[in-house]
Amino acid sequence: MTTLLSFNAVTVAYGEAVALSGASLTVDGGEFVTVIGPNGAGKTTLLNAAMGVLPAREGTITFDGQALRHEPPERRVAMGMVIVPERRELFGRLSVEDNLRLGAFTPRARSGNSGGLDRVYDLFPVLAERRRQAAGTLSGGEQQMVALGRALMAQPRILMLDEPSIGLAPRIVQQILAAIATLKASGLTAILVEQNAHLALGIADRAYVLEAGEIVLSGTASALRDDPRVTEVYLGGGNRYAETDPSDD
């Protein structure tokens, strides 16, 4: 497989505070990669660096062989890099369908988006029912579906998912997980950052463990599930990093 996204010894800092230190990882075309780690480990920083929201102080990031150092976020989106942000960032007063259509704003997305809405509605039937409803009036789980659907409307070459399960009730997490599994089966390339290690390792092909800004473990998802260190810290004791809010559905 051809490497699509690559981090080579990337360091990102907020002033003097280093949030990501010498991180190296790859995502091949058609591969589903996860990055797990506790809150504050640098997972969101990694995705923001990939999207150009945060500059890399050191190291290089490449997409499809092209160095991204001087490419602004909008150019990266046009290249096919799309993120589903942790806070969803919907336009609350606009309808569900208008929010979805905003995902297809690039020429590349518009040219390849015949039937895009139908695909999103097939994936999340409840959104078809809510298509005229203001996005801000939806439940947290439904808003997460809109955020994911909007990203799919952009026709991503790589989809970046930032904590898609956070704050959601278990039954909603299962719906989101089922949708992600469907996307994986379709061959979509993706990188998922998650505190819920059970969820992430259950769906990914390969995984990285990020702690305090450094990648401390990597390997196939199945190998990390069996690694005693991962089991003790992330999978044992009821999975201390998989907290959900049952009221947000």
Full 3-state SS string of the chain: CCEEEEEEEEEEEECCEEEEEEEEEEEECCCEEEEECCCCCCHHHHHHHHHCCCCCCEEEEEECCEECCCCCHHHHHHHCEEEECCCCCCCCCCEHHHHHHHCCCCHHHHHCCCCHHHHHHHHCHHHHHCCCCEHHHCCHHHHHHHHHHHHHHCCCCEEEEECCCCCCCHHHHHHHHHHHHHHHHCCCCEEEEECCHHHHHHHCCEEEEEECCEEEEEEEHHHHHHCHHHHHHHHCCCCCCCCCCCCCC
Residue 87 confidence (pLDDT): 85
Residue 98 confidence (pLDDT): 96
Check: CB of residue 197 under 8 Å from CB of residue 208.
no
Residue 167 confidence (pLDDT): 86
Residue 115 confidence (pLDDT): 72
pTM value is 0.89
Residue 25 confidence (pLDDT): 97
Band of residue 113 on the pLDDT scale cut at 50, 70, 90? low
The mean predicted confidence, pLDDT, of the chain is 90
Contacts of 224-227 spanning 24+ positions with Cβ under 8 A? 225/201
Token pair of 96, please?
């569900």
Rounded mean pLDDT of 221-242?
76
Residue 109 confidence (pLDDT): 73
Rounded mean pLDDT of 32-39?
94
- Residue 188, exposed/middle/buried by CB under 10 A (0-12, 13-18, 19+)? middle
Band of residue 236 on the pLDDT scale cut at 50, 70, 90? low
Residue with token string 């809405």: 117
Rounded mean pLDDT of 236-240?
48
237 or 36, which is more confident? 36
Residue 242 confidence (pLDDT): 40
Percent of the chain with pLDDT over 70: 92
Q: How far is CA 113 from CA 43, 75, 107, 110, 119, in A?
A: 30, 19, 10, 5, 10
Distance CA 205, CA 72 (A): 29
Residue with token string 């909007």: 150
Say how far residue 141 (Cα) sits from the centre of its chain. Answer: 16
Residue 218 confidence (pLDDT): 97
Flag whether pLDDT at 238 surpasses 60.
no
Which range of 106-120, 138-152, 160-174, 234-248 scores highest in mean pLDDT? It is 138-152
Tell me which CATH code domain 1-80+157-241 carries: 3.40.50.300
Q: Which residues, listed in sequence order, are joined to residue 75 by a DSSP beta bridge?
A: none
Flag whether pLDDT at 187 surpasses 90.
yes
Band of residue 151 on the pLDDT scale cut at 50, 70, 90? very high
Residue 112 confidence (pLDDT): 55
Band of residue 234 on the pLDDT scale cut at 50, 70, 90? confident
For residue range 46-72, what is the model confidence (pLDDT) as tens digits? 999 999 999 999 999 999 999 998 899
Q: What are the boundaries of each domain within the chain?
A: 1-80+157-241, 88-155
Question: Which of 168, 88, 92, 97 is closest to 129 using CA atoms?
Answer: 97
Token pair of 103, please?
């995902």
Residue 13 confidence (pLDDT): 95
